Amino acid sequence: MSIALQKTLSLILLIVIGIFLQKKLQNEDQKKGLKTIILNIALPAMIFVALLKIEINPDLLILPVLALIFNIVMIIITKFSLPFFGIKADSPAMRTLMLLLPSLAPGLTCFPFIVEYLGDDVLAWAALADIGNKLFVLVLAYLLAMSWYYKNQKIKAKSNGQKVKELLLAMVSEPINLVILVAIGLLSFGLHMESMPAFLSSSILMMKDMMTPLVLIFIGIAVVFKWDQLRMIASILTFRAGFTFLLSGLFIWLVPMPSEAAVLLAVVFPQSAVSFWPFAHMSAVRKLEYENDAQKENPTFDLDLGINVLAVSMPFSTLLILGVFTSGSYFTAPLHILSIGGMLVGAALIPKAIQLIKNADFSFDNLREKVLKDSSVE
Domain hosting residue 114, numbered range: 3-353
Would you say residue 372 lies in a domain? Answer: no
Whether 251 contacts 104, CB under 8 Å: no
16 falls within a domain = yes
Would residue 21 count as lying in a domain? yes
Q: Hey, how many other C-beta atoms are within 10 angstroms of the C-beta on 103?
A: 24
The DSSP secondary-structure symbol of 96 reads H
CB-CB contact of 124 with 47 (8 Å): yes
pLDDT at position 366 is 57
Cβ atoms 132, 66 nearer than 8 A: yes
Contact status, residue 218 vs residue 37, Cβ threshold 8 Å: no
List the one residue out of 279, 342, 340 whose CA is nearest residue 305: 279
Whether 361 is in a domain gets the answer no
What pLDDT is stored for residue 168 in this prediction?
Answer: 63
Sign of CA pseudo-dihedral 59, 64, 65, 71: positive
Q: Fill in the amino acid letter for 232.
A: M
Domain annotation covers residue 174: yes
145, part of any domain: yes
Number of domains in the chain: 1
Position 285 in a domain: yes
Report the interhelical angle of 230-254 vs 334-359 (nearest 10°): 140
Report mean pLDDT in 10-residue bins for the chain, 378 residues: 64 82 78 78 80 69 90 93 86 92 86 85 86 84 85 67 61 71 82 85 87 78 66 90 95 90 93 86 80 72 83 84 88 93 91 72 56 50
Q: Give the CA distances from residue 184 to residues 49, 180, 200, in Å, rounded to whole numbers and listed in that order.
A: 11, 6, 18
CA 135, 137, 138, 141 torsion-angle sign: positive
- Enter the pTM of the model: 0.74
* CATH code (residue 330): 1.20.1530
Answer whether residue 358 is part of any domain: no
